[in-house]
A and B are shown apart, each in its own frame.
Chain A
């Protein structure tokens, strides 16, 4: 009896250790996502010429599109994406749907900022984390049997982060809103609703075993398709083209912002995969804190502002950090993870995806029957093509005339690269980017 029970215990211990590792990996991915998503704002701050917000969004999305194809090709190769799609082709629909949701939400934020200002709009759409917790609980068994301490940590942490975000947004608001209009409030709430709901397809994909690198390559078709439709619908094809031509001196900076954003989003996807959307979204919402660090220390945005503004910044930052800490220390216990596996099993049965594949991918491994994927010549061509487009626009780019504080910029860049290195290494060692 004792000899048969021993391997079982050992296997259960290994499984628990593996689950703990994946939780830590998800939390690290969430932190890294916040840092890179926040830094994506930096290149866009270099653009001060009068081009419309819709055109700015479209150019950023084009940069995003290039990055979303070239990075997966570079990291795993497109053969891995094809293999994933063969196993779960229905996820293409989910990915395109999520991309459409993102594009409409992003456009709504433009109207929200215009009508009620960033200080009111940001906390309203940041409520997406609360909606993410709700969808995660309702559809994917997240936080089920998690115990009141975890519930308090996640929900309380998200609420504290929303409060911190409000203070930071008030402090960082450069000017008052154009007018407190109900329309702007609806736009901001609408953006939060769309972004919070966008995580349903994310979680769906990862519970079915899809690799985040595969998901984003199809997500971007929805993103760029919907954004182009909206831009043409709002501006008209000819005026939009003229606007893009006149903006060619700044296209590089906007595309660079999109590229940096994709790096952050990739880590956000891994966070959603390994800690679920209820924890992954609040962690990556710490991007506001990082954006503010760039704004204050590199671009001198709050220079000469009153002491109460600085007090708001310090208070808001502390609240954000407190909220992030509360969420990070509320990792899913074994009972909750068993419920996640039940949700994954439901998806596997519904869509006819092999159970061993789903189980292996949830565990951050390749399934036993999966072939090793290698990069091929077209992967390198894809990477070279995307890089060449960036180089062409970089050659056209005008260096903006503005004073930057280079020392903090170097420190923040160093912190970003360190997080990138640590998280990439951890992802590679633990999951081989699965």
Chain B
């Protein structure tokens, strides 16, 4: 549990998540 909290509070985690979300959004606009 504490490791999950460590992941969720790690800025390094949210950068790839944000980029993935942007990529999926871009992909949906491509269709």
Contact = CB atoms under 8 A, between A and B. Distances in A.
A97 B27 CA distance: 17
A107 interface: yes
A186 interface: yes
B17 to A, nearest CB: 7
Interface in B6-21: 6-7, 10, 12-13, 15-17, 19-20
B2 A352 contact: yes
Contacts of A183: 29-30
Interface in A102-124: 104-105, 107-108, 111
Interface of A: 89-90, 93-94, 97-98, 100-101, 104-105, 107-108, 111, 135, 139, 183, 186-187, 190, 193-194, 197-198, 200-201, 204, 230, 234, 350-352
A230 B24 CA distance: 10
A93 B22 CA distance: 19
Nearest to B18: A197
Given A90-B6, A234-B31, 8 more contacts: A94-B7, A97-B17, A100-B20, A104-B24, A190-B27, A193-B19, A193-B23, A350-B10
Nearest to B4: A90
B23 A90 contact: no
Interface of B: 2-4, 6-7, 10, 12-13, 15-17, 19-20, 22-24, 26-27, 29-31
A186 B23 CA distance: 10
A171 B29 CA distance: 30
A66 B24 CA distance: 26
Contacts of B12: 139, 200, 204
27 contacts: A89-B3, A90-B3, A90-B6, A90-B7, A93-B13, A97-B16, A98-B16, A101-B16, A101-B20, A104-B23, A104-B24, A108-B30, A139-B12, A183-B30, A187-B30, A190-B22, A190-B26, A190-B27, A193-B19, A193-B22, A194-B23, A197-B16, A234-B31, A350-B6, A351-B3, A352-B3, A352-B6
Q: Max chain A CB contacts within 10 Å: which of B7, B22, B26?
A: B26
Nearest to A90: B3
A430 to B, nearest CB: 28
B6 to A, nearest CB: 6
Contacts of A204: 12
A316 to B, nearest CB: 28
B17 A107 contact: no
A89 B22 CA distance: 27
Contact of A108 (B4, B13, B23): B23
B4 to A, nearest CB: 7
A8 B24 CA distance: 53
B3 to A, nearest CB: 4
Contacts of A94: 7, 13
B12 to A, nearest CB: 6
Contacts of B20: 97, 100-101, 104, 194
